[in-house]
Amino acid sequence: MCVTPPSDDTTTSDGRSEGRTASEPPTSDEGEDAVEPAAAFAALSDPLRVDILRELSTYRREGGEEPIGFADLRRRVEVRDSGRFRYHLNELRDHFVEKAGDGYRLTHAGTAVVAAVLAGTLTDASTSGRAELDSVCRSCGEPAVATCQEGVCAVSCPNDHRLFQWTVPPNATADATVPEVVERAELLATQAIERALTGICPTCYDPIESEIRVGRESDAEAPPESEHAGSDPRLRAVCDTCGGRVLGPVGFCLLVDPEVAAFYRRHGRRLRDYHVWEHSFVEDDAVSVVETDPVRVSVDVTLDDDRMRVTVDGTGSVVGTDSPSGS
Ligand SMILES: [Zn+2]
Ligand SMILES: [Zn+2]
């Protein structure tokens, strides 16, 4: 039987923007494209600047009318020295804070920094541990075991079949049991697949190209222990900007397809009733390569002896379905 290769993700949302072309401005603020990484990090070098970003974010969360005026903002950050406050606020200007009318507000990049830098640090307890799940490995029938450690949630079986892997930010795992973390990781991974297939990097939102790799060139991405390394078509999307990756079996593309969801619904199920590695369609033998140029792959979806055949193109998009046995 076959390995169900893991999804993997490096989620390096470190805001690296080197190598971006001018044609892909993800923000509304002119000039942010040109931020040198070192300059961006330097802009955050003083704790007061982080306080300013945090306060702008709090103000927005509280529903304050934006932009917020200089004096109000200074009061909220509790800095008496107006000159000092202005200096640090200016250091954030253009990259993370923009002036609008008489006041200031976070840019898109500023919002992202608040999310990336502050979210994980405000919670103290992220979950780590190991638990046997109420699920079995399709390859060998052994129980699936989840391990959560340092923000990575990985599911495998005692025979080292890697079933699933995704990173989960600490604030998403706080106070959760290991099985709950797995559920969240699956949700995040599924959303990431949807974004990647739509051409948006799930981590940094820059454009990303998804592809179905057929043949030996997928060797490099296949886990070395995979029995089928290099032979199976796989979903692959790697972001040039941040290095974020979505890798997995072709069947993962079906997790976000409405017709597959409808097929499940006709059988009284939802896709999310199952762990992502439990679906018949993520198995290698549900997949067959129809054409290699351009790539066309067909994937069988089976439920209660009913079968639907789904055709996926070279970008991982579902381009057709048919149900030989009806429904
Ligand atoms: Zn196994
Ligand atoms: Zn990216």
At 43-86, the pLDDT tens digits run: 888 999 999 999 999 999 899 888 999 999 999 999 999 999 99
In 3D space, the residue among 80, 55, 75, 77 whose CA is nearest the CA of residue 66 turns out to be: 55
| pLDDT of res. 125 | 58
12 Ramachandran zone, left/alpha/beta (phi>0; psi -120 to 50): beta
Q: Is the pTM of this model over 0.85?
A: no
> Where is pLDDT greater, at 75 or 204?
75
Quick one: pLDDT at residue 9? 40
Distance CA 13, CA 29 (A): 19
Residue 315 or 219, more confident: 315
AA identity, residue 38? A
Q: How far is the CA of 138 from the centre of ligand 1 (A)?
A: 7
> Could you report the per-residue pLDDT of 243-255, keeping only the tens digit for each?
899 999 999 999 9
Tracing tokens 């973390």 back to the chain, one arrives at: 181
pLDDT of the residue at 216: 55
Tell me which residues have their CB within 5 A of the ion that is ligand 2. Answer: 201, 203-204, 206, 239, 241-242, 244
> Residues near 23 by Cβ (< 8 Å), separated by ≥ 6?
none
297 pLDDT band (50/70/90 cuts)? Answer: very high
Q: pLDDT digits over 312-324, tens only?
A: 999 999 999 987 6
List the CATH code of the domain at 32-106. 1.10.10
Q: In this predicted structure, what is the pLDDT of residue 44?
A: 85
Sequence ranges of the domains in the chain: 32-106, 129-249, 253-322
CA of 15 to the centre of ligand 2 (A): 9
* Ligand approaching nearest to the C-alpha of 246: 2
